[in-house]
Amino acid sequence: MNMSLKMPHTEFKGIELYGDLRQFESMVRHTSWRVGGVADCYYRPAGIDDLGRFMSVLPEDESLYWLGLGSNLLVRDGGIRGTVIATSPGLGGMDYLGEGRLRVEAGVASAKVARRSVAQGLRGAEFLAGIPGSFGGALAMNAGAFGGETWRHIAAVEMIDRHGQIHTYSATEFSVGYRSVQGPAQQWFVAGVLQLDKGSSEEGRGMIKTLLGKRGESQPIGLANAGSVFRNPPGDYAARLIETAGLKGHCEGAACVSDVHANFIINTGGASATQIETLIRFLQAEVQRVHGVQLETEVHVIGEAL
């Protein structure tokens, strides 16, 4: 039980919940693209224990969708038939364990992990300042930026299963690649332990400032987007392929390829998920036609079309 909350918010299937449970929740305000239909059920747990209680009474065949800060995600306009579990801010714990180890829960913003690590005199996680999503998302996809990758620094993880039970694993029990992580089926990340090097906090803060400066110059900061849309193919960059195919600035309705970085699609105002997905498929087809390269999406597309 999350002891920071004195009273349960609601009762669900005979158990008391301390989080925020909603039905028929629009996903527009929960995604960084500001698009998406209605989710049948939306739960924002108050903590890991509260999440476990909620999951323990869900049907075995309930479709689950995990949400951090809403980046790297496209929810179709027809919405989601199933339950969305929002890890932020309830899974927001972050604790220094000593000997260079920092335990971080899934709902913590990646940028906050970078700041906390350098404040603790730890080095190696500064690149997380350039990742717009949550730490849970970084764990799930081995997120990276500026030459750094999440799983290079992971010592152990905690996962939750369909029955609400927590399991702890060593990082060596996972198969990790570029933007991919394979581990136990039907289990989801709730926390991870970073193993970092000790170093100068001042130098770490300076590196974060430099990285954020580069990000501001090369990415459409302040505009509704979901981060990089496509994975970089081996030996090349998705942005270069899109730009050299003459597609920078190309629009489908109010969804447009960014003029700043061609691997970003921005919602210029009032775009639909359908317009964004149509633009994604068009970019894939054109890059295939011009360059003979099949771009794979980094963004996760979920839900039903209208």
Q: Identify whether 63 is a catalytic site residue.
A: no
The C-alpha atoms of residue 289 and residue 23 are separated, in whole angstroms, by 44
Among 220, 136, 215, 211, residue whose Cα is nearest residue 181: 136
Q: Which of 25, 105, 252, 298 is catalytic?
A: 298
Among 8, 95, 91, 104, residue whose Cα is nearest residue 48: 91
Q: Identify whether 179 is a catalytic site residue.
A: yes
Q: Identify whether 228 is a catalytic site residue.
A: yes
State which H helix or E strand residue 290 sits in: helix 273-291
Non-local CB neighbours of 23 within 8 Å, separated by 6+ positions: 40, 41, 42
What does the block give as tokens for 88? 């932020």
How far is CA 32 from its chain centroid? 10
The C-alpha atoms of residue 104 and residue 306 are separated, in whole angstroms, by 38
Q: Which of 103, 115, 152, 179 is catalytic?
A: 179
Sign of CA dihedral 298, 270, 247, 291: positive
DSSP letter, residue 228: -
Q: Which of 71, 110, 117, 228 is catalytic?
A: 228
Active site residues: 179, 228, 298
